[in-house]
A and B are shown apart, each in its own frame.
Chain A
Amino acid sequence: MMNVINRSKNELIISEASKLRWEIGENLHDSIIESIYMDAEKISGKVVSFIGEKPKFDFDRIVDKIVTSKWTGFPIMFLILAFVFWLTIVGSNYPSRLLASFFVDTIHPILKDYANIIGLPLFIGGVLIDGAYISMAWVVSVMLPPMAIFFPMFTLLEDFGYLPRVAFNMDNLYRRVGAHGKQALTMSMGFGCNAAGVIATRIIDSPRERLIAIITNNFSLCNGRWPTQILIATIFIGSLVPPVFGGLISAAAVVAIALLGIFLSLVVSWGLSKTVLKGEASAFSLELPPYRPPRILQTLYTSLIDRTIFVLGRAVVFAIPAGMVIWLVSNINVNEISLAEHFIKWFDLYALIIGLNGVIVLAYVIAIPANEIVIPTILMLTILTLGISDVGAGSGILFELDNAADVASILHAGGWTTLTGINLMLFSLLHNPCSTTIFTIYKETGSIKWTLISTILPILMGLTVCFFLTQIWRISSGI
C-alpha cells in the first residue's frame, strides 16, 4: 500500500514536470547552455591575463601543421611506424638469441639431469620439462625482447601527444565510410590491446557507430600479435634479401600488414554502415592536446609494468598448460604415430588449400585462449613432429638472420614456404579476437549476436584472403 502511494507521488512529479515543460517551450536546453557559456566567459575574462606578448614562435602549431598536413601527415605516420618496427626487429634479434640459449641450451639440460637424479618418471618429466618449461622458455625468449623495445617507444609517442594527431589524420577517412571519427582513436588504442580498444569505444555516443567500432577493432594488430608479425617477417621476408636490408624489409612488411588492417577496418566499417548498420556519421570535435615533453624514466617504468610484464605474464600463464598439451599430443601415439601428427595430417588436407599447414591450424586451436603463444606453439610443434631428438636444437637457429640457409632448411623440412609465412602473417591479422576481447565485446554490447559476428567475421575474411592469395600465387608461379 505504502509502495503504491510512493509510486503515485513519483508519477505526480513527472506529470507536473511534463506539464511545466509544455509551458516553457522547447528552448530550455539551449538557454541553459547559453547561460553556462556566458558565465564561463565572464568569469574567465575576469581572472585570465597574459604576461607581455604571446610568444611569436608557437612550437605546437608548427609541429601540428606538419604532422597533420594533407600531404605530409600520412607519410610521417608511416615513417614513424616503420622506424619503431625497424628498431624493434634489429634490437631484439640478439637478446632473443641470448635468452633462448640461456633457457633452452643451459637451463633445460640441467633440469633434465636433475629429474634423472631424483628419479622422476619419464612421462612426468616430459610433461613438465619438455612441455611446460620449454614452452614457457620460448614465450619469454621470443616475446620479451620485442616487447621491451616496442612498448616503451609506443608509450613515449602516446605521452608526447602523437596519438590524437593520428586520429586527426584518420578522422576524414572514417567519416567518409559512415563511421564515427573517434573510431580513429579507438583503433589506435587497439594497437595496444583489442580488449582495451573495445572498452575505449565508450567515447562514441551513437550506438550504431559504437558497434561498428567494436566489430572492426580486431583489425588493429594488438600486443599479442606484434611479436608474431615481427618474427615471421624476420624469418621469411627478411631472409629473402641480403642481411644488410633484412631488418628494413621486415619492418616494411610489418607496416604493410598493419596498414592492411587499417584499410580492412575502413572497408568493413563501410560495408556495415551501408548494410546492417545504416546511418549517417555524426559530427564531433576532436581536441588536439598540447605536445608535452615525455617523461622518459616514468614512461619506461609504466610501460614495463603495465604492458610488458602484464602481457608476458599472461602469455606465460597460458603457455604452461599449452606446453603440456603440446607435449602430450606429440608423445601419445595411436597406431604408431602421435596424436599431433594425426591432427596435422588431417588439418593439412584443408589447410594447404588456403596456403597454411596443419601445424599452424593446430597451433591456433591450442592457442585460442591467447594470441601471444601462437608462435612458440608453432615452433614447438614443428620441431617435435619433425622428430629432432634434442628439443632445443632448432630454437637458437631460428633467430639468426645471417643464417638464412639453416632457417630455410629447418622450415623446409616442416613444409614451410614464403607463401606459408605471408599467409601466417595475414591469418594472424585476420582471425578471431582472443578470449578476453570476445568476453569484453559481450560485456560492452550485451548481445550474443554481435559478439558472434565480431568473432566469426574476421575468421571468414582470413580464410578468404589466404585462399585467394594462395591460388593466385600458385597460378603465377606455375605450380
Chain B
Amino acid sequence: MSKMENNNCATCPAHNLANLTKLGVDMTNFDYVVALAGNPNTGKSTVFNNMTGLRQHTGNWPGKTVGRAEGGFIYADKRFKIVDLPGTYSLLSTSTDEEIARDFILFGQPDVTVIVVDATRLERNLNLVLQVLEITERAVVCLNLMDEAKRHKIQIDYRTLSKSLGVPVVPTSARQGDGIKELLNSIYQVSIGEYKCKPHRISNEIKNVSNAVEKLNRIISEKFPQLPNTRWIALRLLEGDQKIIDAVRSGEIGSLSRSDEMVVK
C-alpha cells in the first residue's frame, strides 16, 4: 500500500460518498451551511431527503414547501447543515414564501446556495438562477429531472451551462438518486474554496443605472465593508425595496453573520 494510492482514493467522489453520513435533524457543530433554492416543483425536497436521510413530505405540486426545513449530513469529514427553502419563481416580489427564500440567502449567509433547476424548463428556471447569482458568490446548480428531460428528448450541454453561469452544474435525477454523489462533491468543493465561482452577472445595463449603482455601491461598501453583495443591495435600494431599506436603516444588514438568529422570519 503506497501513500500515493491512498491519496487517489481520497480525491475520488465515490470514496467520499462512502463517507456520506446522513444526520437527519442532528445539526450540531456544523462547518458549512447549504441553502436549497429553486423554482416550485423542481424536486428540492427530494434532493433534501436524499442528502439528509429525512423524509420531508414530497408532492407533485408547486407550493408544497412554504416554510424552511433543516437537516444535516457529513461529507468528507465536514459537517453540513442544509436548509430547504420554499420554491419561488423570483426573488423580486413580495409574497411570504419568496421573502423566506430571499431573506435566508441574503441574511442567513449560506456557504453554498444550491439552486435546483427543472431540466425540462431550463429557460424559465434560469431567471431565478440569475437572480440568486446576483446575491451570492458561491452557488451550485443542480440540473434536476434529467430523467424527465430524456423522456422529452431534451439534451443539455451542462458543461457550457456551467461555463456561462460561472458555477458548477450537476445533472441529477433525484427521484432515482442519480447524480447526488457528484452534487455532494461540488457542494464540498465550493465550500472549502477548491472551486472558485465566478458568477454570471446580469449584462445589458443601462448607462445611467450602472453609474448610479456604482455610486451607491461605493457608499454602502464603505459603511459595511464585510458585505459580499453590496451591488445587489444598491440595486434593491434604487428600486425602493422597503424591506431592504428597513434593513439598512436599522443597520441589521451590516451585522450579517452565520448564526441562525439573523434569519429573518
Contact = CB atoms under 8 A, between A and B. Distances in A.
Interface of A: 6-7, 9-14, 16-18, 20-21, 23-24, 28-29, 31-41, 43-55, 155, 158-161, 163-164, 167, 182, 185, 199-200, 202-205, 286-287, 289-292, 295, 301-302, 305-306
Interface bracket on B: 35 or more
B105 to A, nearest CB: 16
Nearest to A159: B60
12 contacts: A32-B239, A35-B203, A36-B131, A43-B126, A43-B161, A49-B154, A159-B59, A159-B60, A167-B61, A202-B66, A203-B66, A301-B55
A469 B165 CA distance: 65
Contacts of A159: 58-60
B126 A40 contact: yes
Contacts of A160: 60
B238 A24 contact: yes
B189 interface: no
Residue from B92, B126, B203, B245 whose CB has the most chain A CB atoms within 10 Å? B126
A33 B212 CA distance: 18
Contact of B216 (A7, A16, A38): A16
Contact of A55 (B62, B120, B152): B152
A143 B157 CA distance: 52
Given A159-B60, A203-B63, A292-B60, A39 B203 contact: yes
A54 B223 contact: no
A287 B92 contact: no
Interface string B36-75: 0000110000000000000101111111001100000000
Given A11-B249, A12-B219, A37-B127, A290 B63 contact: no
B9 interface: no
A20 B40 CA distance: 35
B205 to A, nearest CB: 7
B245 A14 contact: yes
Contacts of A12: 219
A36 B127 contact: yes
Interface stretch (B21-29, B94-102, B106-114, B256-264): B94-102
Contact of A33 (B92, B100, B129): B92
Interface in B2-16: none
Interface of B: 40-41, 55, 57-63, 66-67, 86, 92-97, 100, 120, 122-124, 126-127, 129-131, 148, 152-158, 160-161, 164-165, 175, 200, 202-206, 208-209, 212, 215-216, 219-220, 223, 234-235, 237-240, 245, 248-251
A10 B155 contact: no
Given A13-B219, A28-B238, A202-B97, A47 B63 contact: no
Given A13-B219, A40-B127, A289-B60, A202 B95 contact: yes
A27 B124 CA distance: 22
Contacts of B249: 10-11, 14
Contact of A39 (B41, B157, B202, B219): B202
A17 B237 contact: yes
Given A31-B206, A164-B61, A51 B123 contact: no
Contacts of B220: 13
A273 B158 CA distance: 48
A20 B155 contact: no
B123 A163 contact: no
B122 A48 contact: yes
